[in-house]
Structure 1
């Protein structure tokens, strides 16, 4: 059964919900759906109290290290950590309390060419069970193309059964944002969800477009219960009105 996985997205040291496609290096055009008064550590502590496992902390650009560390300290081994992860700092984040690290851009050259050798090297360095590969993507003529550098640069990797098979040898999970619908609360990319659900090789978390509990149900049905999901801007915890946090806590408890 599909489970809800919580998130803590940090931008400039604050917990935020943004429209994913508006994130850029210079900050121009950024659209914020929500900026929290509560700290990252407070969100982490709430997830801990409610027993929500498998969530993630994502650093959206520089200036977020202290907030990320505080969240991991609030729930050691309870959250994954992503954003700026490389082979030089991966073990450091795990030592700081991350259950796993999430990696994307470091697996590619600057031009977007995939480096299988880096994936293998990182997997050997920290262990397959500690590694989550982020295959966040944009819809293209080919289907779904993985995007890096805050979803600005398209890579040479397509989300297919073959690519999922190839990388699963070196990681324990996938995190997949549908970047084109991220933060819009207008519905999930069900075609992508179906593709992931039919593959179902290792645990996967889908993010992007959830607007109501119907979307949660749709992911469960269309993926055959094989894909977990996270909910951002629609969640009342983040100022939204489409999905209630307590509903999702109850949803997870029902699936135990």
Structure 2
């Protein structure tokens, strides 16, 4: 298990928000935390602690400069997502991202667009691609949600679909949409499912809020999954000491 930190960018600032409140014109975005430090501060912190594989997520427009600053501060140490397409993916790889992260670009009109996915593979290489299967439960099954998590796709996340999509990427990132940013505990059944279904590096994000949660997560996943913690972390205004998480995950290996 590895700790995979995050740098979420909104309006050019490092923030922690409730992701499921994005994308709606009739409601405000719920912000848990706005940092007084810029993106490069956090990137340098993760570099100093030798924590690779964290992700920079651009939540809407106006975040590119901050994203590029983070990549410059930790070359090859961070992944980047949010608005990634075939038109800009190579730019971010060239700017120092180890991987680009995609969801909505390859899941549009409710379907997996295999042509777009294969095009990305040819453009930047499978080894530089992370697919984000942010999902939500419907009728007892997990489905990918797109467009800032406002739309259900027809793509069910299960053992067969993960086995298939792993052929096109280097890693998977899974946001448990209903608990992400809420510091209310993880979706344990999703953690168990992902541990059983995945065979490539996979990072789970959503609801982990304490060292006890972290230990439970590692047990549920049998050490197979990596973990992201955002709003609960002390560096993002939470109560869970960042240094404790780093120590625990390095010890857990």
Same structural fold, with TM-score higher than 0.5 when normalized by the shorter chain: yes
Query: What is the CA–CA distance in structure 2 between the aligned matches of 1:57 and 1:70, rounded to whole Å?
Result: 11
Query: What is the CA–CA distance in structure 1 between the aligned matches of 2:194 and 2:79, rounded to whole Å?
Result: 21
Contact kept, 8 Å, 2:18 with 2:30, in 1: the verdict is: yes
Contact kept, 8 Å, 1:20 with 1:180, in 2: the verdict is: no
Query: What is the CA–CA distance in structure 1 between the aligned matches of 2:24 and 2:129, rounded to whole Å?
Result: 26
Query: Structure 1, residues 22-63: CA drift from partner, whole Å, max 9, x if none?
Result: 112548321100000000111101000111111000000111
Can you give the 5+ residue segments of structure 2 that lack an aligned partner in the other structure? none
What is the Cα-based RMSD across aligned positions, in Å?
1.2
Q: Pairwise mapping of residues 73-84 of structure 1 onto structure 2 (< 5 A)?
A: 73-84=72-83
Could you tell me which residue of structure 2 aligns to residue 90 of structure 1? 89
Could you tell me which residue of structure 1 aligns to residue 251 of structure 2? 254
Could you tell me which residue of structure 2 aligns to residue 107 of structure 1? 106
Report the Cα offset of residue 142 of structure 1: 4.2
TM-score by length of 2: 0.97
TM-score by length of 1: 0.96
Query: What is the CA–CA distance in structure 2 between the aligned matches of 1:116 and 1:13, rounded to whole Å?
Result: 32
SS at match of 2:168: coil
Which residue, out of 167, 170, 173, partners 1:172? 170
Name the CA shift for 1:208/1:27 in 2 (closer, same or farther; >3 Å): farther
4+ residue segments displaced more than 6 Å: none
SS at match of 2:90: helix
Can you give the 5+ residue segments of structure 1 that lack an aligned partner in the other structure? none
Contact kept, 8 Å, 1:21 with 1:151, in 2: the verdict is: yes
Could you tell me which residue of structure 2 aligns to residue 227 of structure 1? 225
Q: Pairwise mapping of residues 1-256 of structure 1 onto structure 2 (< 5 A)?
A: 2-26=1-25, 28-109=27-108, 111-241=109-239, 243-256=240-253
Aligned residues between the structures:
253
Query: Structure 1, residues 66-94: CA drift from partner, whole Å, max 9, x if none?
Result: 00000000001000000000111111100
Contact kept, 8 Å, 2:163 with 2:198, in 1: the verdict is: no
Query: What is the CA–CA distance in structure 2 between the aligned matches of 1:27 and 1:84, rounded to whole Å?
Result: 22
